Amino acid sequence: MPEAVTRRILVTGSADGLGRAAADALLSAGHDVVVHARNEERAAGLDALIDREAHLVIGDFTERDAVRSIAAKLNEAGPLDAVIHNAGVWSGPAVMPVNIIAPYLLTALLRAPSRLVYLSSGSHFGGRPTLDGVDWRGESAGSYSDSKLFVTTLAAAVARLRPGVLSNAVDPGWVPTRMGGPSAPDDLELGHRTQEWLAAGDDPQALTTGGYWYHRQRLEPHRAVHDEAFQDRLLQTLAEETGTAL
């Protein structure tokens, strides 16, 4: 049997919920995991993972300079093999900064991880494929559905433009996390397994790119996701907004 490969994997938003579960499982599988928390208070909840030799980065994804600082620190520490873009918020002004601006900036700035996994949602089907009037800076409440359509499109665009990178989007389901609420109907365990599989798995299905996945099943996303013209408009808009090209 071939020896298991140890990978260096960043899991954003890993203080609780699906991110915490993914980081825990990847550590248990022997990977070198970098966990992320928004602030020192949230980071205190990661002590158990840090005691198991997880590495920690701290930064508020509503602040673009904090995202840039995290990317610089990670690049200094050496290349990542994979990133699970798990951090997300359901409502309020932070929706666009956290759900799309932060993963876009990390994608542009990190030293070319070979696998990228973006957290989507079934809500992306209700998103609007228009970029006019979007409040990227979070001065007002953003649309969760729109943000998830944008990040799912980002995953597809990266798959097209970086042929050496495995880039996929995952719908984890509506699971009982702090965001999903206690009455959410989907399986919490299944909610994080696909991300881990795409970030570290070696079977042929896990080595594909450009997919939209739900519980290891590849599904067809919103039709705008694979519209190359929409992809290009989104990337151009994000590059102009952040001053950082992909």
Q: What is the DSSP string of 151-169?
A: HHHHHHHHHHH-TTSEEEE
Which two three-digit tokens encode residue 154?
Answer: 């980002």
Secondary element (H or E) of residue 88: none
> Among 118, 148, 212, 214, which one carries the catalytic annotation?
148
With 0-12 / 13-18 / 19 or more C-beta atoms within 10 angstroms meaning exposed / middle / buried, residue 240 is exposed
> Among 118, 144, 212, 214, which one carries the catalytic annotation?
144
Q: What angle do CA 120, 182, 116 make, to 5 degrees?
A: 20
The residue behind tokens 């705008």 is 224
Our answer to whether residue 144 is catalytic in this structure is yes
**Cα 25 → chain centroid:** 17
Our answer to whether residue 104 is catalytic in this structure is no
- List residues with catalytic annotation: 144, 148
